[in-house]
Structure 1
C-alpha cells in the first residue's frame, strides 16, 4: 500500500495580495487563519488547509504533500524511499503542527521536486464554507491533481510507481518527450510527470467542482476579475474532464474542472495523441509590465 491521495500543496509567492484574491475570490476556497499570519491558508473541505502560500523572493513549490494511511505505512514508505538512495528527513513536531498533521517526512524526488508524506490530518470540525462553489470533489481522492517536471522524467516516473505505489494511467508523447499520468485512488490521475530541463517544479494543479455550473460560474469570475486565461473551456481525452485553465499569479497553470473520469479498478494503460476532444485553446502567459 502506497500513497493514497494528494493532500496539500505548499507554495511560495512574492505577491500574496494577488494570491489572496486568486484563492478566495476566483477559485472559491475558504481562507483560514492557521497561526502563521505571514502565510495564506485555504481550505476546500473538512481537511486542514489544502493550499498554503507563504512569502518568498522566488515563487515556487515548497511541498507536494501526499497522504498515507497511518504511522506504520509512513515508516514502510520512508524505508523504501531510503532504499532507493534518497535522503529522508523526519518532520519536526513544530512543522507537523504547522501543517495540522500527526506526522510527516520530507525528501526530494529524483527530479528535485520537494515531497512530503504525511498521516493523521488534524481536523478542527469547523464546517467549510465555499459560497462561490457548491462543493469541491475531494474525499478519498484528495484535493485534486498536480503536474510536475523532471529532467529525467522516466526515472521520476519509475520512482513514483515502483517506490510510492502509483499506478500508470496513460502517456502522451510530445517533441519534448513522454509525459506520464499516474493515479493512486479512483481519480483518473493524481500526478503527472513531464520532461523539462533543470530542477523539477510545479507546472499545473487542478481543483474539481461538483457541478458544471461551478465551472461556468468560475469562468465568469475569471472574466470579471481579469484573470488571464491559459486554456479555454474544453474536454480532456484522458480523464474526460470538462475544464478551463488560467494562469496563477506565478504563472502556474491552474485548472478548474468538473466530472473527471473515475477509475475504481486498474485498467490497461494507453497513450493519447491529443489532450482534448474539443476546446482548450491555448493563450500564452501575460508578459511582465515594462
Structure 2
C-alpha cells in the first residue's frame, strides 16, 4: 500500500496569461477545457489534465496530487495519515468532477505542502495531441517529478517514507550541511524531493520527460524563440542520469525538460551525491521584476 505516482499539479498564478505560452507553446502540453472557464488545463497523455493553473492572488501550488490504486487503498492511507496526527478532508463530488477523478482527499504534509491523494482517473478516450513533443514519458510512472521545501525536511521525509510508502533513492548534502532527500514510488528514479528551507512548504521544481533527445533539443529551440528565461543549461544529472535543461516558469519555479531518466525497477541501496551534474547545468539566476 502506498502512493503510486505523481498524478497532477494544481497551481495558482497571478499572471495566468503567461501560462498559455509557457504550457502550450513552450512545454508542448495539450491545452484542454476543464471545469472552470477561468483556469487553464494541460494534458500530457491519456490521463485527465496533469497540470491545472488557476488565477490567484499569489503564486502558489494548491495541490500535489498523488495517485493510489483504488478506494480501499485510499481509505487505508487516510487511516495511516490520521494516525500520524494529520487532519484529512474528503474532496467534494464537484471538486472530484473538476479534477476528473473518482475520489480524493486533501491534507498538508508536515512541511505545510498541500497534498491530494486520488484514485480512479476519469478517462475521456480522446487521443492526446502534442505535436511539438513526440511523446511524454508517463504511464505508471506518472507525470514526472517535483521538489518541494520543508522547514523540517527530516520529519517531512520520514512522513513520506513511513506513512505514504515512498522509497529513498539518494541524498545530496549542501555546503551548509543540510540534506535534500530524493524518493521514488515507481520505476522513475525519483518522484519527489524534499529540501530544507525556512517557512511553509512550497513547490520549488517540477520535471516533464520527453521520449527522445530531439524533444529536448526542440524544446531548447522553443525556449530561445519565446525568450523563456533559462535556469540551468543543458546537462546530465548524477543521480537519475537525465539529460535536461531548466527554465524559470512565470512564477519562477524551476521547470525541467528532460530525456532518458534512470529507471529503478527494483529497490537498490541508497547513496549520496556530491555534485548535481556530470556536466553542464550551468546556473542563471531568476529574472528580476521590471522597475
Normalising TM by the smaller chain, what interval?
Answer: over 0.9
2:50 aligns to what?
Answer: 50
Q: Which runs of 4+ in 1 moved over 2 A?
A: none
1:219 aligns to what?
Answer: 220
Unaligned stretches of 5+ residues in structure 2: none
Secondary structure in 1 matching 2:21 = helix
Number of aligned pairs?
290
- Compute the displacement of 1:35 (Å): 2.8
Question: 8 Å contact 2:169–2:269 — kept in the other structure?
Answer: yes
Greater CA drift, 168-177 or 256-265: 168-177
The 1-side partners of 2:196 and 2:46 are apart by 35
1:135 aligns to what?
Answer: 135
The 2-side partners of 1:253 and 1:82 are apart by 32
Unaligned stretches of 5+ residues in structure 1: none
Secondary structure in 1 matching 2:49 = coil
1:5-41, CA deviations, whole angstroms, 9 ceiling, x for partnerless residues? 0000000001111011100000000000013110000
1:8 aligns with 2:1: no
1:226-263, CA deviations, whole angstroms, 9 ceiling, x for partnerless residues? 00000000000000000000000000000000000000
The 2-side partners of 1:124 and 1:273 are apart by 45
The 1-side partners of 2:171 and 2:33 are apart by 40
- Compute the displacement of 1:175 (Å): 3.1
With normalisation by structure 2, the TM-score equals 0.99
The 2-side partners of 1:10 and 1:18 are apart by 16
Q: CA RMSD in A?
A: 0.5
Question: 8 Å contact 2:146–2:203 — kept in the other structure?
Answer: yes
With normalisation by structure 1, the TM-score equals 1.00
